[in-house]
Every structure is written in structure tokens, then in C-alpha cells.
Amino acid sequence: MIDPFEFVANPARVVFGSGTIAQVPAELARLDARRVLVLTTPQQQVQGQAILDMLGQVGAGIFSDATMHTPVDVTERALKIVKELRADCVVAIGGGSTTGLGKAIALRTDLPQLVIPTTYAGSEMTTILGETNAGRKTTIRDLKVLPETVIYDVDLTLGLPPVMSGTSGINAIAHAVEALYADNGNPVLAQLAEQGIRHLARSLPTIARTPTDIEARTDALYGAWLCAICLGTAGVALHHKICHTLGGSFDLPHAETHTIVLPHAVGYNAPAIPNAMAALRRALDSDSPADALFDLAADIAAPLGLAEIGMATADVTRAVDILLENRFFNPRSLDRARLEVLLADAVAGRRPRTDSLS
């Protein structure tokens, strides 16, 4: 039986494949762009410069200081360049940090964005922008920041380092997992989520061993896109709230934190999400999804405990305090004592506990 639902699709044009970077000029012409500013991080300046070279007359310049968590002072510097160059479009090539800068510029100028993702983070398909100002992170949702065009080129992901590929991929899986039980979930998103998880879970171990395996890379990027659509319209719950708390208050790295917390969050919610657990069993080809996610993280050589990335057991109580400061949707009610156990397990890198109906 299909329960009543609402469905929202974000308007974006997507081009997917290998060698699709060659379509950048044609896609910019569709956007009627004539003076393009290319955005990158310092680490991907060479890739950004290659795009700029490809653009000829249409390329106005490059800004290669995109930074994790979109600091407002970096955005202000980029906006000065936008103004000086009279840019009428931005092209962001990179991961979530570079996409974030493009979105921050779009929020303030309404310039169109063409995004070329090179990780699996998924920001390119969402109306979400997280920014930091004087150490404080704020998150907004605004259709203005949704990129107009996204070009996925598998070739550009071949150089993403193996462990980063794995953690970025599990970060994407986390978006789809929470879409399976979101308060605004629907059958269409559930299909996308299950399929996205399946594609990533089967390709990430191959990528960890052979990072240039084009078939596995194609599988992973396709899965990442499906998971990104989930993040773009579905709400989030306990898993994302924990990761947000740990990132914001303990400065833990984004993708690794998601990778470590996910099996524990699934184990906690298990008794309240029977349909989602059935989808996860199918997608992960396992009777125990929480264990399968933990084993996947081990398989890609990711850190398994938050202690490895800077959190101490002594921080657990404070983390749960911060987590419970604000109310949020979760399919299972929040039990303080059990959440402390969850986080203590995650800090120590223990296997997840899967709760059952009591």
C-alpha cells in the first residue's frame, strides 16, 4: 500500500558521463554566460585553470581560495573579484567546499552556477548553504543557492584519494539512509535512496583497492548523485544531527564523522524503521545493515572510532547535552542514556549495537 505523500523536485539540469567536461562551453552558452569566474580550492587550481583555458573569451578569471565550511570573509573576497571582473556566472569545480562558495556568491548576487563535483558530498543538488562567520556556523535553505547546471564527469573523480573517496561515499550513503525514514519521505525518494546506497556500497571497496577503476567510479558517482537528490529534498534526523553537533562543537572532519556515526545511528533507529531496514538489507545485501555499514567503513580503511579523529570519551556527555538542546524529528524517541552509549561506542570504534523492539 502507498501512504499519502508530497513530492518536491529541485529544478536543475544534470549532465552525467565520462568526458562530459567538454560540454562546459555548451552548457554555459545555455545559461547565456559571457563572463565566467571559475572557483576552486588551492589544491585544485590546476583543474580550475584547465576549465578557464577551455573557455577562451568567456573565461573572465579564477578564484582559487575556496575553504571548508564557507567562511564569510572568503566569500567577501570572492565577491570583490566578481564585481571587478563583472562576472555573470560562476563555475565551481571541486567538492562541497567549492560548491559552498559558489552557492554563497549566488545567494548574494543571484548569479547562475554551473557546478562540476569532484567528490561524492552532494551539495550540488541541494538548496542548503552552511556558512561560518567568526567561528559560528549557520545553515539556510534557499532556492537561490541551488545550482542551475551540474556536470558530473567520472574522469575527474579518478584522482580523489582512496580513503577520501570511501568516506565521501559513505557520507553520501548517510543522506540516502535518512531519506528512507524522513518525516517528509515518499516512495520516489525511497527508490532513489535504495538504489543510491546499492551503487555506492558495491563500488567503494573496489575504488579503495583500484582508485582508477572507471566502472566502479561511474557506479559511485551515479550513486552519489541519487543520494544527493535525497539530501536535496528529504529532511534529516538523528544521524545528521549528531554529525552536525560533532562538526560544529568539536571541529571534527565532515566525511569521516559521517562514516563513523552512521552504523550506530542505524542501530539506534532500527526498531522504529522497519521499512527502511528492509530497504537497507536489500541495498547492502546483508541481514544486519548497521554491521554492514561498519564493515564497509573498515573495508575502505576509514577511521572507525571518533577517538581517531579528535574526540575523547570525556566529551560524550557534553555532546549529548548539545545534541538535545534543540528539538528535532527522529523516528525513534531520544533516550539520553542510550545516546550516551551510542556516542561512547562511536568514540571507541566498537561495533554498532542494533536495538530491537522491546
By the criterion CB under 6 A, which residues form the site for ligand NAD?
41, 43-44, 68-69, 94-98, 100, 118-119, 121-123, 126, 128-130, 156-157, 159-160, 168, 231, 254-255
* CB of 97 or CB of 269, closer to ligand NAD: 97
In which residue are the cell numbers 535553505 written? 141
In which residue are the cell numbers 516512495 written? 187
The answer for residues whose C-beta is within 8 angstroms of residue 144's C-beta and 6 or more apart is: 106, 107, 110
Extract the C-alpha cell encoding 59: 573565461
Cα–Cα distances in Å, from 79 out to 37, 101, 108?
10, 10, 9
Tell me the residue ranges of DSSP E strands in 134-227.
Answer: 136-141, 149-153
* CB of 250 or CB of 341, closer to ligand NAD: 250
Inter-residue contact 317 to 231 (CB < 8 Å)? no
- Give min distance, CB of 197 to ligand NAD, in A: 16
- Give min distance, CB of 163 to ligand NAD, in A: 11
* CB of 98 or CB of 354, closer to ligand NAD: 98
- Give min distance, CB of 181 to ligand NAD, in A: 19
- Give min distance, CB of 331 to ligand NAD, in A: 22
- Give min distance, CB of 123 to ligand NAD, in A: 3
Burial class (CB in 10 A: 0-12, 13-18, 19+), 48: buried
* CB of 155 or CB of 355, closer to ligand NAD: 155
Paired sense of beta strands 136-141 and 128-133, if any: antiparallel
- Give min distance, CB of 157 to ligand NAD, in A: 5
Q: Which helix (H) or strand (E) element contains residue 203?
A: helix 187-209
DSSP category for residue 19: S
* CB of 227 or CB of 277, closer to ligand NAD: 227
**DSSP letters of 99-146?**
HHHHHHHHHHH---EEEEE-SS--GGG-SEEEEEETTEEEEEE-GGGS
Q: Which residue is nearest to ligand NAD (CB)?
A: 96
- Check residue 140 and give left, alpha or beta (phi > 0: left; psi -120 to 50: alpha): beta
The answer for residues whose C-beta is within 8 angstroms of residue 244's C-beta and 6 or more apart is: none
- Give min distance, CB of 335 to ligand NAD, in A: 28
* CB of 43 or CB of 138, closer to ligand NAD: 43
State the Cα–Cα distance between residues 151 and 153, nearest whole angstrom.
6
- Give min distance, CB of 160 to ligand NAD, in A: 4
* CB of 199 or CB of 267, closer to ligand NAD: 199
* CB of 121 or CB of 320, closer to ligand NAD: 121
